[in-house]
A = this chain, B = another copy of it.
Amino acid sequence: MRRHTGLILALDETDVGQAMAVARSVHDLVDAIKINWPLVLAGGPETITHLSEMVPVICDFKIADIPNTNRLIVEQAVDRGASGVIVHGFPGRDSIQAAVDAANDAEVFVVTEMSHPGGEMFTAPAAEAIAMLAVECGAKGIIAPATRPERIAAMRRLVGDLLILSPGVGAQGGSALQALRAGSDHVIVGRTISGADDPRAAAEAILRSMSD
Q: Which residues does A use to contact B, with CB under 8 Å?
A: 12, 14, 36-38, 40-42, 44-46, 61-67, 69, 72-73, 76-77, 80, 88-96, 114, 116-123, 126, 129-130
Are the C-beta atoms of B119 and A92 separated by less than 8 Å? yes
Instruction: Tell me whether A91 and B69 are in contact (CB under 8 A).
Output: no
* Chain B residues, Cβ within 8 Å of A12: 69
> Does B41 contact A114, Cβ atoms closer than 8 Å?
no
CB contacts (< 8 Å) of A64 on chain B: these are: 62, 64, 88, 90
CB distance from A127 to the nearest CB of B (A): 10
Cβ of A77: which chain B residues have Cβ within 8 Å of it?
A: 41
Kindly provide the distance from the CB of A59 to the nearest chain B CB, expressed in whole angstroms: 10
A123 touching B90 in the complex, CB below 8 Å, given contacts A41-B76, A45-B41: yes
Q: Given A41-B80, A129-B121, is A65 in contact with B92 using a C-beta cutoff of 8 Å?
A: no
Best-surrounded residue of A42, A45, A93, A118 (most CB of chain B within 10 A): A118
A93 to B118, CA, bound (A): 5
User: Quick one: which of B95, B118, B126 contacts A94, CB cutoff 8 A?
Assistant: B118
